[in-house]
Structure 1
Amino acid sequence: MRDDDARHETGGLTPFRDPLRIPPVLRPGRGGRGEDITVELEARSVRLHSQMPPSLTWTYDGHFPGPTIEVRRGQRVRVSWANRIEGPYPLAAGTAPLTVDGEPSTAQPGRGPDFIETKEVADLPAWSVTHLHGAVTGGGNDGWTENAVGVGDAQLSEYPNDQRSAMLWYHDHALNITRWNVLAGLVGVYLVRDEEEQALRLPSGEYEIPLVLTDRNFETDADGRPTGEVLHKVPRLSDPDPESGEPVVTIPFSGPYTLVNGVVWPHLEVEPRWYRFRLLNAANARVFDLALVDEDGELVQGVVHQIGSDGGLLPAPVPVDFDEGLPRLTIAPAERMDLLVDFGALRGRRLRLVNAPADAERPGDPARNVPFPQVMEFRVDRRPVRDRFVLPPVISSSFRRLTHDVPHRHRLVVLTPPGTVGGAGHPEIWEMVEVPEDSVTLGSDGVIQLTDAEGTTRTYRRVARTFDDTLAIRIAEGDHEQWSFLNLGGPTHPMHIHLTAFQLLGREPYLTEGFSPELGGTTSPVAFDASPGAGIPLAPNEQGWKDVVTVPAGQMVNVLGPYEGAQGRFMYHCHLLEHEDMGMMRPFAVLPREVMVFDHHSPDGGHGEH
């Protein structure tokens, strides 16, 4: 295919033209001592593709993504996140119709017809707070969403790093505007190392590479070529409100261009040997369904193995054997995957990582639309090399599976469908507390009945639904808790809990027809689906430590984890950033056990220890 033809078919840019950029590595401290470091937030012009003008980007230390910060377990690090951003806001935001001539307009390059710009976004200040996602650190260091700082100020955070080896990441978390600040470029990788990881002798140095996935949309010129101006274009689901002029928006951002480490569709020269890739989905909302294909588009089998997830190493390698009839390697926003790839038998080949949803027609989830499936290309050298690495059968010998035998408390969190009464068109997080049936009016707003797998029906009352509602969840430090996320309808929500890493206990199917969005409650119990074939087994790669879990409609997902190592006020939320900004975020607090004795007003929904 000629270069001009390739550009026409891929939105004006040639795929795999530019090399992958690898962020610099920042290792604070020497000799095991912690050290104060400063990371500056700066505005820079960054070229995201060589055929496109530079894009105004917000960066950490001048890099997008920011430098990879690497620490050792137990090494205490203090970071000054210094806001030095100057100049205008780096993107244009607005809405467009969900479809134009039958095509999803918001996933196509440029503003397109009927684009309505949100002018107030251009007036936003550089107001930012950095959250170290996955960190076990005190609430005052966690990047509380309202504690953002302006230009000339600095956020001071301390990270004990007393946690297992894992890939964390840092990103903006400013209240109401996280979706735009992250899209502006404020993301970076943070690696914690420990002795267990070191003993595995995994590929390292130039053979260990972070792959940070993001997606973007760009304004186009009169010839349809991208100009480099970043657009936050989201679907408009209704006409603008006649009073406020603002449309109701519930579907998150999804851009047509995929970037890896800040480059649109890059390539990477690799040797025919094992590599370790630290994969992060840092997109606002895009779920990537990844597959590895060869020059002819055929799936490549047997070379990819997952050895870790969000919270650290898996107990054993999980082979990723792509197959036409099976789901791809699916990674939702904020999830991480630790991958080993063996290029040893692929000398001289060109392999492509593509975003190829096995279920692109999934209803209710337009973010799945993929106009351009390209992600990146691997170019394997022809020259043989000597590689001594052998994939070990055991990855984490320290891993222990959590079970119901661990004393813990239960909490129910309901995720409501868009359009539920009182939600202003947006999905919400409802925290529920069990109550006697005769203490509430059935069929009323905020009252839900639930029939579980044992046939027991319980009645729940809503105690919180918005970010500013009462603090309803208080936890004694050191306790384990089971949180059950029940999605009553709408899109899949990747739910993230700050502070803790948890394990999935199970995914349960539920029949949700008994919930009435118009009433905001159940007219008949939401019931466990016991029909043949309805069971949902856990995937092998989600049976390790996690801090993000996907919750599809009609599922109750049960997670169990410890709340230890830090105290203070934290958050949990949907990691579709538009949902987070639109209200799908709630606080919780972890207190010393001795303080909990005097907690006399806690509508926290705890059902006792089990």
Structure 2
Amino acid sequence: MTDLTKFADPLPVPPLLRPGPELTVRLVPAEVRLHSELPPTPLWTYEGSFPGPTIEVRRGRRLRVAWENQLTTPYPAQVGNLPTIDSPPAENSPGIDAAFLNPKAAVLPGWAVTHLHGAVTGGGHDGWTDNAVPAGEAQLSEYPNDQAATALWYHDHAMGITRLNVNAGLAGLYLVRDEEEDQLGLPADEFEVPLVLCDRNLATAADGSLTGQLLFKTVGPLPFSGRYTLVNGRIWPYQQVRARWYRYRVLNASSSRAYRLHLVDENGTRVPDAVWQIGTDSGLLGAPTPLSAQGLNLSPAERADLLIDFRALKGRRLRLVNSAPQPYDGQPIGDADPVGVPDPEHRLSDPEVIEFRVSPDQEPEPFTLPAQLAASYHRLTHDALPEHTHRVVALGRNAAGVFQLWELAEVPDADVPPAGTLQDGLIQIQQGTGPVRTYRRVAADFEDTLNFRVRRDSWEQWTFVNLSVALHPVHLHLIRFQALTRAACDVSSVKDGGTPIGSPVTWDAESPILPSDQGWKDVIKVSPGELVRVAGQFTGATGRFMYHCHILDHEDDGMMRPFTVTPGAVLDLTGDGMPGMPGMPGM
């Protein structure tokens, strides 16, 4: 029996830590009941909690954390895969044939390194992927917290096994507070609730019953997707709420699953005018924006700061449901489409996420939705950017079918081969009737030559062109940025890792950037056949950092590249690094 009763258990809330200047957080094995109908599940956790404790800090108050590794138990999940399949299922089924179990995973040590995702901190404290520590050692990190109020999160980032360590339970929220946020009088205390979303799969016994043990199973080349949706570590929970405003700090902590969330009533009808978004990954928006009929799109690692007004919904039962199919290409649902359409074949069998049970009693409401949020927020545009560097990255796939980040360098016109030439790693891109620009791939694997040496405090624009068949949420460590451009591309000419000379990837009209996606970000989703430009300032720290796809299976397979941030005087003296490209219309 693999069915579990939906909305049987109350929503748990992770412990809250408000530390002084120093904090020790232990990575420890624990057994946690993910559903009242399951046996306890072995996990690897921060401080015995799944998710880990929510750490709350004030802006500008430096925090030193000792991430102390006490993971002495064997890896707590079964790991396996199935052969390549022709048609991907919406989600993994529970259980796995013993013949497909991976015995190497069963003996994995507790080797971990914690990355504070979205933090402005030096490269030595960022959780470099190779700097994982074994049991008995501690990772020492320092976080200045000199950044605007936002919801960051911490998670494991160990080289090659990030997906497994995070799946085992190593993730938690980290909230930064500041005076600008304080002045808004947003719902707080019991009315501010974290919602850490993730999916998991479960192993079965010989009789087919669920054992409670986690199962990390991939289907052929597809990344992990589990049948069971967890919120704050509980499968399909409910929350008893009062008829007033609530603030929800929503995080997609899944390995690969995207969410397209809608609030619906008992009949599955969308509830309008109740949900407002007030923030994105890296801070508050300038003004509240209502949740559109297209729902809230969250790719892995993205966050959203939401307000839900339950005042007019007294005595009702409401649900958050996920209408994103699996796999998901990032396309929005139409305003008139019912939930779950337009891809019914890949619709989740269990789209439910959480149920809200609203009290029937009316009560005084001290909060009023403000017309303005962060006065410090400003919308970036390319033309208004300070002097800046351009970089171009293609999201491609090699001959073996492995997704990669292809760093591109422009080829002078005199060096472009004759028309019709097809070379691996040679790509042409054209906007409308503008000039055709030719690029050569200069890096694809994590260990390839370091190319991106960024000048500290400089502004840069990065262009991502998705030449692959999958959505990729790209995360840049250290900085926050904004999306400047989205555009659909014709990538039909791409073959064998390049484009024939004279047959470029083309794009023309820009797609609208939704108000809910115009805020400060540290993850940007790039759909198949899409070009996205982002801009940000590399300030606040120096060192060696990473950028990567935040589908953890892709990251572990090598879809990750390093970059460095260095004082300008050092770069000027040494003449080191690959310069960025000058401003290019359309790029």
1:311 match = 282
C-alpha distance in structure 2 between counterparts of 1:256 and 1:233, whole Å = 11
Secondary structure of 1:589's counterpart equals: strand
**Matched ranges for 1:281-430 at <5 A:** 281-322=252-293, 327-357=294-324, 370-404=348-382, 405-406=384-385, 407-417=387-397, 420-421=398-399, 424-430=400-406
Moved more, 310-319 or 214-223: 214-223
What code does the residue aligned with 2:42 have? L
C-alpha distance in structure 2 between counterparts of 1:400 and 1:148, whole Å = 38
1:486 match = 465
Q: CA deviation at 1:334?
A: 0.2
Q: CA deviation at 1:199?
A: 0.3
C-alpha distance in structure 1 between counterparts of 2:232 and 2:506, whole Å = 42
Of 3, 14, 31, the residue aligned with 1:23 is 14
Runs of 4+ in 1 over 4 A off after TM superposition: 358-369
Q: CA deviation at 1:604?
A: 4.5
What code does the residue aligned with 1:27 have? R
Q: CA deviation at 1:397?
A: 1.2
Does residue 119 of the first structure (1) align with residue 103 of the second (2)? yes
Asked if structure 2 preserves the Cα contact closer than 8 Å seen for 1:66 and 1:189, the reply is yes
Asked if structure 2 preserves the Cα contact closer than 8 Å seen for 1:463 and 1:603, the reply is no
Q: 1:394-436 deviations in whole A, cap 9, x for unaligned? A: 111111122223211100000114xx33xx3211100011121
C-alpha distance in structure 1 between counterparts of 2:62 and 2:250, whole Å = 25
Asked if structure 1 preserves the Cα contact closer than 8 Å seen for 2:396 and 2:497, the reply is no
What code does the residue aligned with 1:430 have? W
What code does the residue aligned with 1:108 have? S
Secondary structure of 1:433's counterpart equals: strand
Q: 1:535-579 deviations in whole A, cap 9, x for unaligned? A: 411111110100101101111100000000000000000000000
Q: CA deviation at 1:602?
A: 2.0
Secondary structure of 1:104's counterpart equals: coil
Of 555, 568, 574, the residue aligned with 1:593 is 568
Which residues of structure 1 form unaligned runs of 5+? Answer: 1-7, 30-34, 237-248
Q: CA deviation at 1:374?
A: 1.4
Q: 1:134-178 deviations in whole A, cap 9, x for unaligned? A: 000000000000000000000000000000001000000000000
1:107 match = 92
C-alpha distance in structure 2 between counterparts of 1:349 and 1:254, whole Å = 31
C-alpha distance in structure 2 between counterparts of 1:126 and 1:361, whole Å = 32
Asked if structure 2 preserves the Cα contact closer than 8 Å seen for 1:432 and 1:605, the reply is no
Q: CA deviation at 1:529?
A: 3.3
Secondary structure of 1:109's counterpart equals: coil
**Matched ranges for 1:111-510 at <5 A:** 111=96, 116-236=100-220, 249=221, 251-322=222-293, 327-357=294-324, 370-404=348-382, 405-406=384-385, 407-417=387-397, 420-421=398-399, 424-441=400-417, 442-453=421-432, 455-510=434-489
Q: CA deviation at 1:452?
A: 2.1
Secondary structure of 1:389's counterpart equals: coil
C-alpha distance in structure 1 between counterparts of 2:541 and 2:581, whole Å = 20
C-alpha distance in structure 2 between counterparts of 1:49 and 1:333, whole Å = 23
C-alpha distance in structure 2 between counterparts of 1:576 and 1:537, whole Å = 25
Q: 1:490-517 deviations in whole A, cap 9, x for unaligned? A: 101000000010011010221112221x
TM-score, structure 2 as length reference = 0.93
Structure 1 pair 198–453 and aligned structure 2 pair: CA distance change class (3 A): farther
Secondary structure of 2:5's counterpart equals: coil
Secondary structure of 1:470's counterpart equals: coil
What is the root-mean-square deviation of aligned Cα atoms in Å? 2.2
Structure 1 pair 321–199 and aligned structure 2 pair: CA distance change class (3 A): same
Q: CA deviation at 1:190?
A: 0.2
Asked if structure 2 preserves the Cα contact closer than 8 Å seen for 1:129 and 1:145, the reply is yes
Asked if structure 2 preserves the Cα contact closer than 8 Å seen for 1:434 and 1:607, the reply is no
C-alpha distance in structure 2 between counterparts of 1:382 and 1:225, whole Å = 38
C-alpha distance in structure 2 between counterparts of 1:328 and 1:386, whole Å = 29
Asked if structure 1 preserves the Cα contact closer than 8 Å seen for 2:393 and 2:464, the reply is yes
What code does the residue aligned with 2:133 have? V
Structure 1 pair 362–402 and aligned structure 2 pair: CA distance change class (3 A): closer
Structure 1 pair 216–368 and aligned structure 2 pair: CA distance change class (3 A): farther
Asked if structure 2 preserves the Cα contact closer than 8 Å seen for 1:362 and 1:368, the reply is no
1:243 match = none
1:86 match = 72
Structure 1 pair 200–367 and aligned structure 2 pair: CA distance change class (3 A): farther
C-alpha distance in structure 2 between counterparts of 1:368 and 1:394, whole Å = 39
2:31 match = 45
Structure 1 pair 138–366 and aligned structure 2 pair: CA distance change class (3 A): farther
C-alpha distance in structure 2 between counterparts of 1:381 and 1:343, whole Å = 9
Residue identity (%): 51
Asked if structure 2 preserves the Cα contact closer than 8 Å seen for 1:408 and 1:609, the reply is no
C-alpha distance in structure 2 between counterparts of 1:598 and 1:309, whole Å = 39
C-alpha distance in structure 1 between counterparts of 2:344 and 2:156, whole Å = 25
C-alpha distance in structure 2 between counterparts of 1:577 and 1:297, whole Å = 32
